[in-house]
Structure 1
Amino acid sequence: MHSATGLLVCFEGGEGSGKSTQSRLLRSWLEEQGHTVVLTFEPGDTPVGRRLREILLGPETGELSPRAEALIYAADRAEHVDRLVRPALERGEVVVMDRYVDSSLAYQGAGRELDVADVERVSRWATGDLRPHLTVVLDLEPEQGLGRFEGRDRMEGESLAFHRRVREAFLRMAEADPDHYLVLDARTSVDETAAAVRARVAPLLGQVAS
């Protein structure tokens, strides 16, 4: 379900696609418009989440059971939504998130080749079925995105085949629900991408208290 108060905008996409950069730019623009903005990310943007992030992304963790990995992401997300995201929305604020449920569907569902319906069921339960008003998918070929990193975490270190499945999953989700998704070519300039995001977000701001 979509929150009746506030606005939830999520950025999704593969590694190196510019999600963090675009999240920060959107926050800056929204604040210039007079909105109160919470900029956040998954996994790890709560005290509990930071500990879970170390397990999920630290190369020293080594191989995890795919189901265990999916459940740890869901635990992080449950804490994140309960402690940070939902309270901000209830206050009528704008929440800008770097990754959310779609990342689990793409990485653990398609990437790890788990049953996507199972991953979604766990993720929706963890979030109380809280859904973004808009999800921006920054689309980039994995070869390009992964080339932007010097060192790689557990996810970044996965095979090209894994990351290609992830990319295809994001695009399928966006195609299935165009009213709530915006797909942008992450190869375009930072400024062009930011302008396209602002143009899509602007009409949604009417429900948000300034």
Structure 2
Amino acid sequence: MKKTLSAILAVLLAALLCACGSKTVENTSSPEPTATAEATATPSPTATPTAEPTPEATPSAPQLQLGDTIENDNFKMTLNSVEVVDRHEFSTSENSTMYFVPENGYRFLLLRGHFENKSTNVIPSSSIACTVLVNDVFTVNCSRAEFVFERERNWEIDPFTDFNYSIRVSIPQKLANDLKSAVYTIQFNDETYNVIYGTPSTTSTSSESSKTSNNV
């Protein structure tokens, strides 16, 4: 009887062990995929530096000689002669004459020609600035170089009229007696003209040379 009971217990124990062994724990969770892709930054193309605009070179002023003519939309101006005088005299009418004399120790240097006002406006002499470089060493600035219309109202010229003109400057007697060259820089509005008389050793304008020259 005891053997039978032991056998039954052994069978039940074996069945119990089998039931427990069949239970397996399943891991149903799948591992999170590991992100391996790295964001690749696309480098921006290197900007090519833009060259600074090169300012255009200022056109050099026309180089004129005696016998040439300055002409634009406003006037026509001939360049007839350069002379040294002790007295600047001109007729303003049939019976009237106007004259100017320099101070002691000076003489007048005159650039002379004919001036025609082509515009509908009065042209004042003050609108025409002039600087003169004499013998490459002596500069007369625009405040002392006088543009004169050879008429009674010598400070202006009327529309559609024409008169002789002079650019009058005072220069020391010594330079006047040994005149070799004169470079006139004439400006009207934004226009500039160089009038060269004689044979200056430099073609620099009087405005540049005034740094080392004596201003009258």
TM-score grouping bracket, smaller chain normalisation: under 0.3
Higher relative contact order (CA 8 A, sep 6+): 1
* Larger relative strand fraction: 2
Q: Normalising to structure 1: TM-score of the pair?
A: 0.24
* Larger relative helix fraction: 1
* Greater radius of gyration (CA): 2
Q: Normalising to structure 2: TM-score of the pair?
A: 0.24
